[in-house]
Structures are given as structure tokens and as C-alpha cells.
Amino acid sequence: MKETAILSKLGFLALILMGTSCDWFGGDEPQIVANIRALEAHEKAMVHSSSQFSLDLFHQLRKNGDPNQFYSPYSIHQALSLAMNGNEGEVLEEFIKVLRYEGMELEASNRAAKSLTRYLLELDPKVRLSIANAIWYRQGFQVYTPFKEAVNQYYNAEIAPLDMMNPESVNVINRWIEANTSGLIKEMLDRVSPDAAMYLVNAIYFKGDWKYRFTTTEKAAFYISKNQEVQVDMLKYDEPATLREFIEGDLHYLEIPYSTGHYNMGIIMSNKFGLEEQLKHFDLEHLDNWRENAKESNVILHFPKFKMRYKVENLKADLMDLGLELPFEPSPNNFTRLFDHSTPNMYISRVVHDAFIEVDEKGTEAAAATVVEIELTSAGPHQPRVLKVDRPFVFFIQDNHSGAILFMGKLSDPSQL
């Protein structure tokens, strides 16, 4: 796996979580109310599925040993959910298991994904959030109508043909990603494979101002370990603000709210530099417990200012370790619901993920994109097979729908005609 250079040397775990609301710090703006409503049962199930997948992926990517990471599990979950809709049988079941849709039928999963996404997009009028999906398929192929209808209805996915043999086609996908991440993710794909059958792409963008503004920035120490430190630009509150926190043993959980308070940045740190060891058994039950038991505290927060880009060129090995194996191996059982005609065996050749985040005095801007590349087992479409009718044959004219034969004949010696 190849990762791009990370723009910041700061290491911490950033999770965007839902929080509680409180008054704007030191501001005279009128109170803007978030669009809060009770989640429906299928939306709660979707939150659980997406969150479980997020933590599964978190533990998997921790194994890479990178000191700094940033990615969007929601984007990856959405892109793989698009791919899931092109499958059936055993392959579909594997997608359902890895994406944590257990107990949900395909249509129910799609409906829940649509509903939760709409809820998140409408939640906070002061936070800018966009989630977009697009699909490009091989020019000349015919997309299976139920697949096209599902991804359009539930994921609002744009669908268009693409000339995979044209080297300029990569710019079509890259420009779409750049436009849907507010210019933060550029030149994501290096190429479009001439063997590609389809590209399924998700892009997500977030921009939110802090509820409590940082008013001071100065150089300060950031401790990599007990005996090693680096200097960073440290953001500071000048006055105490009300934040939610929970402390359990050496672990400290904190929520830093955005705008109306219904989006926040969740922080998990260790007071004794043993975070990696302490997070080995970290799961959704722990996180739910910390959220539920977090209490409001008045604190003067110091928080590092940073900017980071993190790219994973192929999540294949990580996803296979999580149990998504069949779609990565060429098989006639893969993606049987993508096209309405026969194709060579297909498989996922790569899952590319690119993410960017910048945290400063005003707030946070973040974006990510995920590309699922599905390839054919041969280079380009099969050339037409040459079939010569050059020997005696029987022929008939029939009604295709009923099968009724209207005319029938035989030709054995054209010279006798």
C-alpha cells in the first residue's frame, strides 16, 4: 500500500461525532436552531452499521503503523454500498457482512443509507456538508436497469458512459472529484484503466466553524512521547468554554463542537502516552458509553493547528483482511447485476481513498473521495468472434416472443439456386 506524504506531523484521532448544543461563545448572532428530529428505526440501524464499519476500518488501518492518518469511513462505506448493489448471492452476503448491514435486506440497506444521508445534510444549517456519488461505465456497455434505478434513487448517483481507452478520460473523473470536494482533492486518479468496466465514486466535503472561537495562536510543545516533543502552532481559548468530556482511567474523551453544536470533533487521548495499547480493544460499545456519560465542563482549551493529506492508493489488502474477499478475485459470480449483457469476469482491481483536513482558528475544512475500480479480466471488450455460415444449414423464421415458427427451410448447395 502506498500513501502520500502527510502534510502535518501531528498525530491524533479525529472522529466527527454528533454532540449537544450550547450558546455561541462571545457572539451576538441570533441563535440558529439545528434540524433535530428523532431517528427512525432504519436510520438507527444505518448509524450502527456505518459506525461499526468505521471502527473495524480504524483497527485495520492502525496496523499500517502510520503515525498520522486521516480518512472518511463514511465515504468508503458509501462507495462500497454502491458496489454492493451490483451483486447477488454469496458475493452480496460478503458485502453485507463487511459493511455491517447484517439483518438488513439490500433494499432496506439502501433506504436507510438514503435517509441517514439526507438527515446529516439537513442537520446543521451553519455547517456546510455535501455527499455526492457518481458512476462511470464502459462506453458501449448497457447498465442493468434495476442497478441504475437503485443507485440513482437511493444514492442520487450520476451515471454516465466513459471511453476507458481514452487517456483523457481520467480528467473527467478527477474534475468531478475536485468539484465535489470544493477543490481540496485534486488529481486523485493517476489513470483510467483500459480494462475498466466501471468506476464508482463517492465524494464528501465538510466545513464548519467552531462554536467557540480560538482567539490566540502561539508556539507550544506537542509531546510525541514522554521524552520527545515538537513545536507546533497551538490554538487557545482566552476564556473558558463549556465542552463535554469523559475520563475513564488514563483515557480522556472530549467533544469540540461546531456551529450549533450538533456536529463536533471527538478527541480520544491518553494521559500516560499509552494510547495505541489502550485502544486495542476500543469498540462501538466503548464509544457509545463515553458519549452517553460525557459531562459538561468549563475549560480553556489548547488545541494544535494542523493540515494533513492522507492517501491510500489501494485499500484492497485492508478490505480483504476485514472479510471482503470474493469481489477482489475474478469470477463469473462477481457483479452479475451491473450490466444487462454478458461480460468477461469482473473484479475490484483497486479501492483508492484520498482525504484532506485543515484545522485552524476558525474551524475545520475536510474532504475525502473514494474510487472503486471494477475491471474486466481481459484487456478491453472481447473482439467479435468470427462465425462463418459456410456449410449446409437449416433456417426458419420465428416469432421471438411466443416461439412460433412462421417459415422453415434448408440450404445445402447454393449453386443449385
pLDDT at 16 over 90: no
8 Å CB contact between 361 and 376: no
Q: Which three cell numbers stand for residue 26?
A: 462571545
Bridge partners (DSSP) listed for residue 201:
134, 371
pLDDT tens figures, 260-282: 888 888 888 887 877 888 888 88
pLDDT tens figures, 328-378: 999 999 999 999 988 999 999 999 999 998 989 999 998 999 999 999 986
Bridge partners (DSSP) listed for residue 14:
267
With bands split at pLDDT 50, 70 and 90, how would you rate the model's confidence at 416? Answer: low
The Cα–Cα gap between 197 and 178 comes to: 22
Give residue 252's pLDDT: 85
Give residue 402's pLDDT: 33
pLDDT tens figures, 43-91: 888 888 888 999 899 889 889 888 888 889 999 999 999 999 999 999 9
The Cα–Cα gap between 221 and 234 comes to: 8
The Cα–Cα gap between 62 and 57 comes to: 8
Per-residue 3-state assignment (H helix, E strand, C coil) for the chain: CCECCCCCCCCCEEEEECCCCCCCCCCCCCCCCCCCCCCCHHHHHHHHHHHHHHHHHHHHHHCCCCCCCCCCHHHHHHHHHHHHCCCCHHHHHHHHHHCCCCCCCHHHHHHHHHHHHHHHHHHCCCCEEEEEEEEEEECCCCECHHHHHHHHHHHCCEEEEECCCCCCHHHHHHHHHHHHCCCCCCCCCCCCCCCEEEEEEEEEEEEEEECCCCCEEEEEEEEEECCEEEEEEEEECCCCEEEEEEEECCEEEEEEEECCCCEEEEEEEECCCCHHHHCCCCCHHHHHHHHHHCEEEEECCEEECEEEEEEECCCHHHHHHHCCCHHHCCECCCCCCCECCCCCCEEEEEEEEEEEEEECCCEEEEEEEEEEEEEECCCCCCCCCCCCCCCCEEEEEECCCCCCEEEEEEECCHHHC
pLDDT at 400 over 60: no
The Cα–Cα gap between 125 and 123 comes to: 7
* Angle subtended at Cα 357 by Cα 172 and Cα 230, rounded to the nearest 5 degrees: 140
pTM of the shown model: 0.84
pLDDT tens figures, 101-124: 988 999 999 999 999 899 888 888
Give residue 410's pLDDT: 47
Region 132-152: mean pLDDT is: 96
The Cα–Cα gap between 235 and 360 comes to: 8
Residue with cell 477543490: 183
8 Å CB contact between 145 and 340: yes
Q: From edge to edge, which strands make up the β-sheet containing 306-312?
A: 158-162, 128-138, 196-209, 363-376, 346-359, 306-312
pLDDT at 178 over 80: yes
To the nearest whole number, what is the mean pLDDT of the chain?
Answer: 83
pLDDT at 155 over 90: yes
8 Å CB contact between 117 and 141: no
The Cα–Cα gap between 176 and 193 comes to: 17
The Cα–Cα gap between 180 and 174 comes to: 10
Domains contained in the chain, CATH given: 1-387 (3.30.497.10)
Give residue 412's pLDDT: 54
pLDDT tens figures, 20-39: 333 434 444 556 666 777 77
With bands split at pLDDT 50, 70 and 90, how would you rate the model's confidence at 95? Answer: very high
Give residue 281's pLDDT: 87
Give the whole-number percent of the chain exceeding pLDDT 90.
49
